């Protein structure tokens, strides 16, 4: 039974040397337990934060202990009356091929309603983050301008499509020509900016958003956030969802001082973690499912094969190798 451990806390960008593969005996489920076989593994930027020895909204990983993330697993043996052999479950599980669980924190997922992988993306935390961040903090209104960074990624691509459903001008920021073409052609974004080939992001945002920015959904932080803030309209809302451009920084760079920007334009800037809105997951998932069925929304996945590929798939997020949700199929 293969297991992936955190070997070192990375300094800067994670590398394969920070992970260790080890073998353990396949576990046996005791009374009340189930045996799970890992099927689909979600790799996510926030896992980088858990590799630091820092207090956050979720406990840091321990060196020498298994990594974990959102996983879809199959129940292959059950001594628990709530689960049957052949069920599929979704939950925060360890990077192991097989593991036992007493079922706490696991949700059954139905492969007849949606492809299982979708529960790690559009119908999982990714979709919830996009939908609830926009709804609860962005309070996006028809005809407003929505700017989103990380726009070809799992969260960003959903954010932009919701903006189009709501009747907004949607502008995306992403890191390659292929990505900016894709989000306009496949997802209907009105304009897109390649931040890697643009010298002056402040000017580029102004040009793509002639009426200014009403809502900025920030997935990346850093200089792109600074440039977006300079373009916000009066009563604009900034949703601090993520700051991937800073996750690997050893020393946090100083940005422009933003106090007067926010005051002059009465801007609301609010961070959140999707778990703040757990009670709203049901309605959000229902809405996203309806949009999927009605073909109002679609999604991209980058699917990598093999248990041994999990660490590299995670590292590749920081090089933008994924389009849409990055998933490893085991
Ligand atoms: P993505 O699918 O967007 O993957 C990460 C993407 O980030 C890459 O594809 C890459 O795209 C981009 N990126 C990598 N490095 C940089 C950089 N230095 N500057 C700018 N962009 C970069 O991941 P998710 O959709 O899962 O997550 C998006 C953000 O949302 C992350 O910051 C994540 O931490 C956050 N998040 C927050 C949650 C919350 O509860 N608040 C929940 C889930 C996610 P490109 O080619 O465009 O550079």
Token readout for 312 is 């590299």
* Average pLDDT score over the chain: 96
pLDDT in tens, 201-218: 999 999 999 999 999 999
| Residue with CA nearest ligand 1 atom 48 | 175
Residue 54 — pLDDT band, cuts 50, 70, 90?
confident
pLDDT at 261: 85
> Domains of the chain: which residue ranges?
2-121+300-329, 128-275
pLDDT in tens, 75-89: 999 999 999 999 999
- Cα of 256 vs its chain's centroid, Å: 27
How many whole angstroms from 265 Cα to the centroid of ligand 1?
A: 27
Q: What is the DSSP string of 57-103?
A: SSPPPPTTSB-EEEEEEEEEEE-STT--TT-EEEEEEESBSEEEE--
pLDDT in tens, 141-199: 999 999 999 999 999 999 999 999 999 999 999 999 999 999 999 999 999 999 999 99
Q: Which atom of ligand 1 is nearest to the CA of 243?
A: 32
Token readout for 207 is 């040009």
How many whole angstroms from 78 Cα to the centroid of ligand 1?
A: 37
pLDDT in tens, 111-149: 998 999 999 999 999 999 999 999 999 999 999 999 999
pLDDT at 55: 82
How many whole angstroms from 152 Cα to the centroid of ligand 1?
A: 9
pLDDT at 330: 96
Q: Which atom of ligand 1 is nearest to the CA of 324?
A: 2
| Residue with CA nearest ligand 1 atom 36 | 242
E-assigned strands of the chain? 2-6, 19-23, 34-42, 68-78, 88-94, 98-101, 107-109, 145-149, 169-174, 191-194, 213-218, 232-240, 268-271, 301-305, 325-329
Token readout for 263 is 């005051």
Q: Class assignment of domain 2-121+300-329?
A: alpha beta
Question: Looking at the domain 128-275, which fold is it?
Answer: Rossmann fold (3.40.50)
Q: Which atom of ligand 1 is nearest to the CA of 48?
A: 34
How many whole angstroms from 255 Cα to the centroid of ligand 1?
A: 19
């Amino acid at each position: 039974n293969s297991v992936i451990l955190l070997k070192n806390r990375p300094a800067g960008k994670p590398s394969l040397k920070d992970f260790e593969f080890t073998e353990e005996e396949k576990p046996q489920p005791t009374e009340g337990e189930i045996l799970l076989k890992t099927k689909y593994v979600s790799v996510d930027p926030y896992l980088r934060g858990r590799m630091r020895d820092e207090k956050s909204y979720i406990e840091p990983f321990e060196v020498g202990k298994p990594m974990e993330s959102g996983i879809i697993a199959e129940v292959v043996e059950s001594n628990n009356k709530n689960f049957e052999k052949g069920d599929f479950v979704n939950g925060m599980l360890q990077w192991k091929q097989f593991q036992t669980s007493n079922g706490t924190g696991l949700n059954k997922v139905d492969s007849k309603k949606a492809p299982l992988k979708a529960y790690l993306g559009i119908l999982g935390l990714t979709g919830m983050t996009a939908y609830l961040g926009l709804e609860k903090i962005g309070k996006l209104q028809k005809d407003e301008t929505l700017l989103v960074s990380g726009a070809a990624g799992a969260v960003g691509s959903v954010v932009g499509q919701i903006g189009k459903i709501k009747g907004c001008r949607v502008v995306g920021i992403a890191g390659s020509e292929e990505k900016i073409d894709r989000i306009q052609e496949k997802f209907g974004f009105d304009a897109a900016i390649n931040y890697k080939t643009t010298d002056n992001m402040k000017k580029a945002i102004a040009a793509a958003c002639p009426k200014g920015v009403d809502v900025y959904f920030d997935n990346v932080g850093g200089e792109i956030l600074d440039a977006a803030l300079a373009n916000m309209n009066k009563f604009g809302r900034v949703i601090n969802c993520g700051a991937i451009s800073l996750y690997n920084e050893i020393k946090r760079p100083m940005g422009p001082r933003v106090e007067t920007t926010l005051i002059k334009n009465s801007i609301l800037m609010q961070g959140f973690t999707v778990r703040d809105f757990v009670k709203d997951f049901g309605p959000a998932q229902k809405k996203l499912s309806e949009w999927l069925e009605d073909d109002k929304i679609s999604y991209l996945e980058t699917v990598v094969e093999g248990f041994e590929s999990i660490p590299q798939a995670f590292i590749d997020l920081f090089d933008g190798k994924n389009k849409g949700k990055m998933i490893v199929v085991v």
